[in-house]
């Protein structure tokens, strides 16, 4: 191992690592492609660019590059851990990085909740003279039927709370060397994550309002949809951990990849509880409920 460390970087198996630069380029191409694609779809001319650039292919090139970097970078990170490059200091920094990532995600949700509470608490705001035209001076807006919070949303709340229990079971099983419990706990969590997403897709299909026809719909779909995306990402995260658990990658002493996935999943659970009580229950109080 001493020879390996002498020949290579002290915390990377590749020196210099190409992934930060490639990831940044992929994200830039994907963002530019998305902007050009959306502007072209709206019929807006693109300055300095021809119509050829305003097609979806640029976005998908960036997306493929980002996915390739995610796979390559994380694969190298796993290899670094197996080869002994993740010292205690490196492991500590990985934890700091995950904490900062989750904190940045919290800020995203602050923006969506800010928009929701601003519109719901001040539906007749005099400064924003057009708001009354969209809300009728009340919340939920006049004429809006809401989703029954005690039907599909409550069902999904139970699913996520149960998934938080199973992922905790998996974590404790790993710590105590119970590999069978680890695999079963992770498998059940992945299944529950898929079930949650399925129920939410069905809820969107039967929702009595749309994204574009009211400020209620816009704030509802942005907050719940952004959370749904996090559930999708977290499910993939846990599925990868399940594959790694089946391969025997995790040990009771060294399993930060799984720990990070568990942190992320618990964060998703907490956000959903806030969503459920604030948007589904309190935010729809007094409005007619759509029955399907």
- What pLDDT does 83 receive? 83
Contact (CB, 8 A) for 149 and 276: yes
Q: What CATH fold (topology level) applies to the domain 87-281?
A: 1.20.120
- What pLDDT does 110 receive? 93
Q: Where do the domains of the chain lie? A: 18-85, 87-281
Q: What CATH fold (topology level) applies to the domain 18-85?
A: Helix Hairpins (1.10.287)
- What pLDDT does 31 receive? 92
- What pLDDT does 134 receive? 75
pLDDT tens-digit profile of 124-166? 766 666 777 777 778 888 888 889 999 999 999 999 999 999 9
Question: For the chain, which residues score pLDDT lower than 50?
Answer: 1-7
- What pLDDT does 9 receive? 53
Q: What is the DSSP string of the chain?
A: -HHHHHHS-SS-SSSS-SHHHHHHHHHHHHHHHHHHHHHHHTT---TTS-GGGGSTHHHHHHHHHHHHHHHHHHHHHHHHHHTT---HHHHHHHHHHHHHHHHHHHHHHHHHHHHHHHHHH-TT-SSSTTHHHHHTTSSSPTT--B--TTTHHHHHHHHHHHHHHHHHHHHHHHHTT-HHHHHHHHHHHHHHHHHHHHHHHHHHHH-SS-SSS-HHHHHHHHHHHHHHHHHHHHHHHHHHHHHHHHHT---SS--HHHHHHHHHHHHHHHHHHHHIIIIIIGGGTTSPBP--
């Amino acid at each position: 191992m001493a020879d390996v460390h002498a020949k290579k970087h002290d915390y990377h198996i590749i020196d210099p690592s190409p992934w930060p630069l490639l990831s940044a380029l992929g994200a830039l191409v994907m963002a530019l492609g998305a902007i050009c694609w959306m502007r072209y779809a709206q019929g807006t001319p693109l300055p300095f660019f021809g119509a050829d650039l305003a097609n979806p292919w640029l976005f998908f090139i960036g997306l493929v590059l980002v996915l390739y970097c995610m796979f390559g970078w994380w694969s190298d990170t796993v290899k670094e851990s197996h080869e002994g490059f993740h010292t205690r200091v490196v492991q500590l920094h990985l934890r700091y990085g995950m904490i900062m990532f989750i904190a940045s995600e919290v800020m995203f949700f602050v923006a969506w909740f800010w928009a929701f509470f601003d519109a719901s608490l001040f539906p007749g705001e005099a400064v924003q003279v057009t708001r009354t035209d969209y809300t009728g001076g009340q919340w939920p807006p006049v004429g809006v039927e809401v989703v029954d919070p005690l039907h599909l949303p409550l069902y999904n709340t139970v699913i996520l709370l149960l998934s938080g229990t199973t992922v905790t079971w998996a974590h404790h099983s790993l710590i105590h060397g119970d590999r069978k419990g680890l695999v079963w706990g992770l498998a059940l969590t992945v299944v529950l994550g898929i079930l949650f997403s399925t129920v939410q897709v069905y809820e969107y299909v039967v929702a009595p309002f749309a994204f574009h026809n009211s400020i209620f719909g816009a704030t509802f779909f942005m907050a719940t949809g952004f959370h749904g995306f996090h559930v999708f990402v977290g499910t993939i995260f846990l599925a990868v951990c399940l594959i790694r658990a089946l391969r025997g990658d995790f040990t009771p002493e060294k399993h930060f990849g799984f720990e990070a996935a568990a942190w992320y999943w618990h964060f998703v659970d907490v956000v959903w509880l806030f969503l459920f009580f604030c948007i589904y229950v309190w935010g729809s109080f007094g409005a007619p409920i759509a029955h399907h």
